[in-house]
Structure 1
Amino acid sequence: MTLYQKIINKLKQMYPEAHCELDFSSEYELLVATILSAQSTDKRVNIVTKELFKVANSPQKMLELGEEKLKEYIRTIGFYNAKSKNIIKMSEQLVEAFNSKVPSTMEELTTLAGVGRKTANVVLSNCFGVQAIAVDTHVFRLAHRLGFSDENDVYKVELDLNSKIKKSEWSLAHHLLIFHGRRVCKAKNPLCEQCGVNMYCRYYKGSVQQ
């Protein structure tokens, strides 16, 4: 068993409940929520979307709401101006090019406004059963600390993770790394002494133990 598989197995024991922490009830809702989650927390996004999705939970309804009213709902989220613009544009694209349905391929998803590989992978993984690792800030940080990757480009980090984790566990690994990053392996002041995988961690061995 590889070191990387040992890490994933241990995280599976630690977080059997690992899942997507964004609240959603459709592909479109998750797409919107994931766009909103950039530079924000899932907790904050869930507070906002609880009210937003009552009035706009489809591309058509979002277009009826309009950009200015959308801003009022998401004003507490970072970069709300740019996100409002992207969500309206993305909704227009869904109506015009995809019959108001969220597409199920990376190629099509990344043609939508505000949608990069990370957002596309979140939607593919959670809505369409595609095995994928979305590299957000937590996954990026843990990939480096745990030794999965030394790359600075998020796509190359994704490829490194894909090469070292069983494909059947890509989506689960994504959730496990995020759960661990939020609860223990934090950006500032990580709880290394309490960490269940510190015996495998090069960050812990290389800096904390010095």
Structure 2
Amino acid sequence: MAKLLAAFVVLLALAAPSIAGDPDMLQDICVADYKSLKGPLRLNGFPCKRPENVTANDFFFPGLINPGNTGNAVGSLVTAVNVNNLPGLNTLGVSISRIDYAPWGLNPPHTHPRATEIIFVLEGSLDVFVFPRGLVHFQKNNGNSPAVAIAAFNSQLPGTQSIAETLFGAASPAVPSDTLARAFQIDGGMVEFIKSKFQHK
């Protein structure tokens, strides 16, 4: 009986990761139909376009060729290509992003709750990384010239949760300042100063 129970526990442990991910594709394509979001057939949250209405443009996104504007506070810009702007990705389980970095620019600490990520450097002095789903990570340009990377994900909509914005920019409910002060071992005035940087978001 003990061996049978142990085998059952091992079987459950092996099955759990397959349940936690995006569902596998159920048909050849299901191009997301943004115009009829109330349609009856929904796969991964989107109704499917009728096959006769699918065009080549549903599988084309020209935006990755253009450098992003890195003239912001962190010195980076992510151009994401996911099911929200490339409807042909629906049910395919992949997405991609271009990340542009100013000299010494930073892609701040964040997580992707629905995807593992791999980075490929096109230009500059970043390293290649693989980030498991949900792991807090960041990238920094370690050089005095611009850098560009391509990030690939195993989800049509990986999601991005910015750590600093989540903690210091939350509005309702806000994370209490005394909680942040104790967690980061800084004084309340510094917490309020940091919070003020995120109030415009």
TM-score by length of structure 1 reads: 0.28
TM-score by length of 2: 0.28
Larger Rg: 2
The structure whose RCO (Cα within 8 Å, separation 6+) is larger is: 1
Richer in helix (by share):
1
Higher strand residue share: 2
